[in-house]
Amino acid sequence: MKTLQESGRSNMIFGLVKCVALSDSAGNSSRLPLERMPTGYMEHQINFFNASHVTNVPKCPRDYEEWMVTMYSQFGTKWHCLHRGPAWQHCEHSHSRYDLIPGLVI
């Protein structure tokens, strides 16, 4: 918590726990939809940054993988550039651009 506070960030850990623990007005068991996006994206990001090495990152959750494939199929490389962000646009890569989309079969 101290690291978040020193970085000027809100207490997102408490907020996440609150979103998962509390039910919403419709009677769902969680405010955060656990069976679909964005939960899979958040799970993947937490697992990625928690891994000691990139080879130790667990496979993408199915809902996040389906979302990525859907977005890429709808918007192509424009979405891919937005998703990766401007800082990664001109990096050298030793792999195919299609390796970045799990589940994409060409």
Q: What is the token pair recorded at 87?
A: 């800082």
- The fraction of the chain above a pLDDT of 90, given in percent, is 8
The tens digit of pLDDT for each residue in 18-47 reads 888 887 777 778 888 888 878 888 999 899
State the pLDDT confidence band at 106, using cuts at 50, 70 and 90. very low
- The fraction of the chain above a pLDDT of 70, given in percent, is 80
Exposed, middle or buried by CB within 10 Å (0-12, 13-18, 19+), for 50? exposed
Let me know how long the chain is: 106
Q: Residue type at 80?
A: H
The tens digit of pLDDT for each residue in 54-77 reads 888 888 888 888 988 898 899 888
Mean of the per-residue pLDDT values for the chain?
A: 80
Q: What is the token pair recorded at 64?
A: 């996040």
Three-state secondary structure readout of the chain: CHHHHHCCCCCHHHHHHHHHHCCCCCCCCCCCCCCCCCHHHHHHHHHHHHCCCHHHCCCCCHHHHHHHHHHHHHHHHHHHHHHHCHHHCCCCCCCCHHHHCCCCCC
Check residues 13 and 25 and name the one with the higher pLDDT. Answer: 13
The tens digit of pLDDT for each residue in 45-59 reads 899 888 888 888 888
